[in-house]
Amino acid sequence: MAKSKTVWYCKSCGAESLKWMGMCPSCGEWNTMVEAPAPAKNAGGGACHSLPSGGIPPMLLSEVDASGESRFSLHSDELDRLLGGGIVKGSIILLGGEPGIGKSTLSLQIPLHCEGLKTLYVSGEESVNQVKLRAGRLGGSGDSCYIYSETLIENILSEARKINPDLLIVDSIQTVYSEGLESSPGTVGQIRECAARFLRYAKESGTPVILIGHITKDGMIAGPKVLEHIVDVVLQFEGDNSGAYRILRGIKNRFGATSEIAVYEMTSGGLKEVSNPSDMLIPMHGEPLSGIAVSAMLDGTRPFLIETQALVSSAAYGTPQRSATGFDVRRMNMLLAVLEKRAGFRLGVKDVFLNMAGGLRVNDPACDLAVISAVLSSNFDVPISSHVCFCGEVGLSGEIRPVSQTDRMISEASRIGFERIFISSFTSLPDMFSHKGIEIVKISDVPQLCRSLF
């Protein structure tokens, strides 16, 4: 029996090689080569990879009619805003996230809550009965939603052409395989081939396709990096599975802005939109407590306020502990070093624990001022008023640096009902900016912050 031929694929860029290499010669990444069976050859001697071909002759750019880009709403304000005003016909969307975070729930809620939107929901991980049980828990009408449990891409595309749906959802791309390749589902070759076939179907039929993708232990979408280059939009779920809140972040969007976010709350009836996350993330206790400060931050283009919690205590085991949930622990260590060096606080012999409320992860430098305020409040055991919030970046020399779009965060804090906000003294606000109902306190460095608060 003849030995089957294999090739090596790079998981980052999809480059092929006849032998293993430590470093990919195409993209330069190390230890990314994986072995897979060689693709079958067609009658003409070429590989059976399908590439998108619209059959349209070359045209001058000035002759192209751009008014044909049509969108339709998914009846979800947050998702429509994240996509740039609705889903574009013929686009292909990749939705990634950790297991159990809500990818399948969100994708099934779309056809259930969009009456009249003919949808083909392809499930490669669940049977039709299992999808029906989940749909009953989510509610909504399934009169225009077709359920198809299949993993062979030839059968999926054949049924899609028969039904001619308005939307095609595939859960998940790692379970789909093609008969033209000998490798098993989930390998680099299968994912690349199936994604290219779905891309060709979307562009030729004008039907938008949503592909659900698994992620690796490193948080990256499983499969070759070329998968993210093929699709038009990449959305990724973030958040703690044990928490109630989820963030859907736009990483790539050819039809809208990137870095947009949509906030959802996981309930017994599915994912519920949080149109105003500031109301959910601000303090929910009656009297002021030490170690708590509210940060005004910007994630994407959306301003919201989040509660920052800190606990400073004596090191019980000699070696101080540093722990941060929802915040970069290395940045927290940098802020603690600034407090010790520039402000004279002896925090090197104390345990410091930091937590961002709601189970969300933030990376905006505007949270620095709230972090050090919460740490100082816990260290002194002096509470900060619940009507005070903070917005500013802390530099290594202890100065408070301004952040972008501070005026929007001040307006959000004023709308919520905060009475004072601490910002950098170097912040320049627009001439026409109005800050009715809130006092703006400008500070230049960490010692001035300590004198103003305590």
Residue 323 is encoded by which pair of tokens?
């722990």
Determine the Cα–Cα distance for residues 170 and 197; give it in Å rounded to an integer. Answer: 13
Q: What is the mean pLDDT of residues 205-229?
A: 82
Spatial distance between the Cα atoms of 194 and 340, rounded to a whole number of angstroms: 55
d(CA 437, CA 377): 25
Tokens linked to 72: 């339709």
Alpha-carbon distances of 253 from 12, 222, 307, 338, 433, rounded to whole Å: 20, 19, 30, 38, 31
Percent of the chain having pLDDT more than 90?
Answer: 38
For residues 179 and 211, give the distance between their C-alpha atoms in angstroms, rounded to a whole number. 20
Contact 81, 300 (CB under 8 A): no
Q: Which residue type, as a one-letter code, is found at position 37?
A: P
- Residue 262: pLDDT band with limits 50, 70, 90: confident
pLDDT digits (tens, 9 = 90+) for 352-376: 999 988 777 888 899 999 999 999 9
Determine the pLDDT at residue 201: 94
CA distance 104 to 169: 10
Confidence tier at 442 by pLDDT (50, 70, 90): very high
Work out the mean pLDDT of the chain and round it to a whole number.
84
The residue behind tokens 């299992």 is 130
For tokens 């970069």, the residue is 328
- Tell me which DSSP letter residue 148 carries: E
Structure tokens at 154: 């030839």
Pick from 347, 337, 336: which is nearest to 371 by CA?
336
| The pLDDT value given to residue 65 | 73
Do the beta carbons of residue 288 and residue 281 sit within 8 Å? Answer: no
Confidence of residue 218 (pLDDT cuts 50, 70, 90): low
**Lookup: tokens for 337:** 């070093």
Average pLDDT over residues 113-127: 91
Q: What is the mean pLDDT of residues 329-352?
A: 90
Q: What is the DSSP letter of 31?
A: S
Which tokens sit at 245?
Answer: 């809140």
Q: Are the C-beta atoms of residues 402 and 363 closer than 8 Å to each other?
A: no
> Taking residues 93-121, what's their average pLDDT?
90
Closest Cα partner for 227 from 7, 13, 9, 10?
A: 13
Q: Is residue 116 classed as helix, strand or coil in its secondary structure? A: coil
Give, rounded to a whole angstrom, the gap between the first and last alpha carbons of the chain: 82
CB neighbours of residue 10 within 10 Å: 24
The contacts of residue 153 (CB under 8 Å, 6+ apart) are 176, 177, 178, 194, 197, 198
Angstrom distance (rounded) from CA 426 to CA 413: 19
- Over residues 237-265, the mean pLDDT reads 81
pLDDT at position 41 over 70? no
**Other beta carbons within 10 Å of 110:** 21
Looking only at the bridges linking them, the beta strands covering 16-17 and 6-10 are antiparallel
For the stretch 152-163, pLDDT in tens is 999 999 999 999
Describe the strand order of the beta sheet including 209-213 as a list of residue ranges.
Answer: 145-148, 119-123, 167-171, 209-213, 92-96, 233-238, 245-253, 261-267, 270-273
Binding-site positions for ATP: 97-104
Annotated binding-site residues read 97-104
